[in-house]
A and B are shown apart, each in its own frame.
Chain A
């Protein structure tokens, strides 16, 4: 006999979102002028937006201006938001548009270059097999995460990823957006989105390995 499969808990719900209403309810509260709904939204998205904006503009100060402008644009745009995208996608799209208006990052229009290997080629032998295989780190990292000692570290690693990888990793893996949503927000092709995601994630994996190999 098959038991009902519970999907609860499989969703990577983040604490603050769990206590927040669904997008629809939240939107309703925002439109009816609920100040707490707006502050809740800011608490949830301000810092992630700052991180995202920072990859488009030359300084933290400019990123802060961008995000301030984003919140004003959000307030002005709320009445006209039709819910065709998720609230989150809409917010980040506004943020990226504000950042692009402000930012002057030259490599913005340069296409994604040909992929480079994501694992140091010296870790493989001549036949392409591992000569220096991945070292175990999952359990140690889990322990650190549960002890609340890893999140800051991961944030700092994400911040040193190349800008375009950082943008994709932030939206896909930190914010949990779909590939389609990320392509829309960042104006990327699906193929380029995947290349950037692959490199960003691979680099983070290497950083975990480097970090926890030393601990053992």
Chain B
């Protein structure tokens, strides 16, 4: 792979910068090169959109429900603990 230099950014390098880009940790010049690459590359634009979508979908995974039995166990745990406090 070539070094990140000038306008040389290629797709294979761009995909490695996506998280740093989204985290806002790219240097100003690297960010400019990344955005310049995206402007001319529909595939990397799609790739970035897919990474954003991946984050969005992952963030919508709610915890699985406790079973009623487990819920009862935690109520018991709590009551035991409380009675020990008194």
Binding site for B on A (CB under 8 A): 12, 14-16, 33, 35, 38-39, 42-48, 68, 71-72, 75, 115, 117-119, 121, 124, 127-130, 133-134, 136-138, 141-142, 145, 150-151, 154-155, 158, 169, 173-174, 176, 179, 194, 197-198, 201-202, 204-205, 208-209
Contacts and interface: CB of A to CB of B under 8 A. Distances in A.
Nearest to A78: B81
Main secondary structure of the interface of B (DSSP, over half): helix
Contacts of B29: none
Contact of B10 (A14, A42, A127): A127
14 contacts: A14-B62, A43-B66, A44-B63, A68-B77, A71-B77, A75-B78, A136-B46, A142-B53, A151-B61, A154-B58, A194-B23, A201-B19, A208-B54, A208-B57
Contact of A47 (B20, B23, B64, B74): B64
B15 A16 contact: no
A44 to B, nearest CB: 6
B53 to A, nearest CB: 5
B2 A155 contact: no
Contacts of A43: 63, 65-66, 71
B59 A141 contact: no
A75 B81 contact: yes
Contacts, number: 135
Contacts of A39: 71, 74-75, 78
B19 A194 contact: yes
B39 interface: no
B58 A47 contact: no
Given A39-B75, A117-B16, A198-B20, 10 more contacts: A12-B56, A39-B71, A42-B66, A47-B66, A71-B74, A71-B77, A134-B43, A201-B51, A201-B58, A205-B54
Nearest to A79: B85
Closest 6 CB pairs of A and B: A128-B10, A198-B19, A133-B43, A128-B12, A173-B58, A47-B63
